[in-house]
């Protein structure tokens, strides 16, 4: 199986679980957070919705220099509804899908850099960065989001297995 085919399948599977979590976002509670050191639920949900688009960035650009990005360009700060978040996810997934369909495994073997100014944080083949910095990272933050959902009084979807709210496979 080609890497591009593997990632396209993984993208669709993870998008389905992510959509289920975003559809349970409590309306009007974007500023809620479980602890003063935590990010707020609206920011976290928007981050999760946008993460698939990072695949396109990793395919189309040679690097990301985080020193050149403003926080406001990263994730919107306005109040987002469930519908906004799902739409954001759908656009992000479409962008990732299109980039994966246009690339090839040779390109995914080429190095990609994440830096902050002159400091290189990570430099790995694109396929490693896509797996670690997008898919694994997405699962981490989506897991955080499901904990936030529970604490905010929303239901938690079954993603990889049953949840207390959706007890069946």
**Which of 73, 75, 67, 29 shows the shortest CA–CA distance to 51?**
75
Q: How does strand 111-116 pair with strand 119-125?
A: antiparallel
CATH superfamily label, 3-151:
dinb family like domain (1.20.120.450)
Per-residue pLDDT of the chain (169 residues; tens, 9 = 90+): 999 999 999 999 999 999 999 999 999 999 999 999 999 999 999 999 999 999 999 999 999 998 887 654 566 567 899 999 999 999 999 999 999 999 999 999 999 999 999 999 999 999 999 999 999 999 999 999 999 999 999 999 999 999 999 987 6
Contacts 24+ apart (CB under 8 A), 25-29: 25/81, 25/82, 25/85, 25/149, 25/154, 26/149, 26/152, 26/153, 26/154, 27/81, 27/82, 28/79, 29/152
Q: Count CA atoms within 13 Å of residue 3 on its CB side.
A: 20
Q: What is the pLDDT of residue 158?
A: 95
Give the Cα separation of 32 and 50 in Å (integer). Answer: 20
Strand partners, 63: 113
Q: Is the pTM above the cut of 0.85?
A: yes
């Amino acid at each position: 199986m080609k890497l591009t085919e593997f990632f396209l399948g993984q993208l669709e599977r993870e998008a389905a679980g992510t959509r289920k979590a975003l559809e349970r976002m409590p309306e009007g509670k974007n500023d809620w957070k479980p602890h003063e050191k935590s990010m707020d639920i609206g920011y976290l949900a928007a981050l999760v919705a946008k993460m698939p688009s990072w695949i396109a960035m990793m395919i189309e650009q040679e690097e990301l220099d985080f020193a050149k990005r403003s926080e406001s360009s990263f994730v919107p700060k306005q109040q987002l509804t469930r519908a906004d978040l799902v739409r954001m996810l759908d656009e992000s997934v479409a962008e990732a899908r299109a980039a994966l369909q246009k690339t090839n495994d040779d390109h995914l073997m080429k190095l990609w850099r994440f830096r902050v100014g002159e400091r290189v944080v990570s430099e790995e083949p694109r396929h490693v960065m896509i797996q670690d910095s997008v898919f694994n990272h997405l699962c981490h933050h989506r897991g955080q989001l499901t904990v936030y959902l529970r604490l905010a009084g929303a239901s938690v979807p079954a993603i990889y297995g049953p949840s207390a709210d959706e007890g069946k496979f």
